[in-house]
């Protein structure tokens, strides 16, 4: 494959506060969160989940976020 054809995606960057202000996010919507647990966050029927993220102290994957309590995480 030609190297010029190799491309990726660039997700929109949001802080956690900005993410939680998104009006009516769609299931499957993806963002890169730039603070808190940084990484790829995806909106699901249960709220925002972390598809891939870096916590200041540990690696995090697929962790459910409780939208009612910004900054908190609940395991499902």
Give the closest residue to 18 by CA, choosing from 45, 58, 46, 48. Answer: 48
CA distance 73 to 76: 10
**Residue-level pLDDT at 5:** 73
Give the closest residue to 34 by CA, choosing from 46, 19, 49. Answer: 19
Cβ-in-10-Å burial (0-12, 13-18, 19+) of 55 comes to middle
Average pLDDT of each block of 10 consecutive residues along the chain (76 residues)?
Answer: 76 97 96 92 92 60 49 45
Determine how many CB atoms are found less than 10 A away from the CB of residue 39: 20
**Residue-level pLDDT at 33:** 95
**Residue-level pLDDT at 74:** 46
């Amino acid at each position: 494959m030609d190297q010029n054809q190799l491309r990726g995606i660039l997700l929109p960057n949001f802080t956690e506060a900005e993410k939680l202000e998104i009006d009516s996010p769609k299931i499957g919507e993806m963002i890169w969160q730039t603070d808190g647990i940084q990484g790829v966050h995806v909106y699901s029927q249960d709220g925002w989940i972390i598809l891939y993220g870096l916590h200041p102290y540990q690696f995090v994957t697929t962790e459910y976020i409780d939208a009612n309590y910004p900054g908190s995480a609940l395991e499902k």
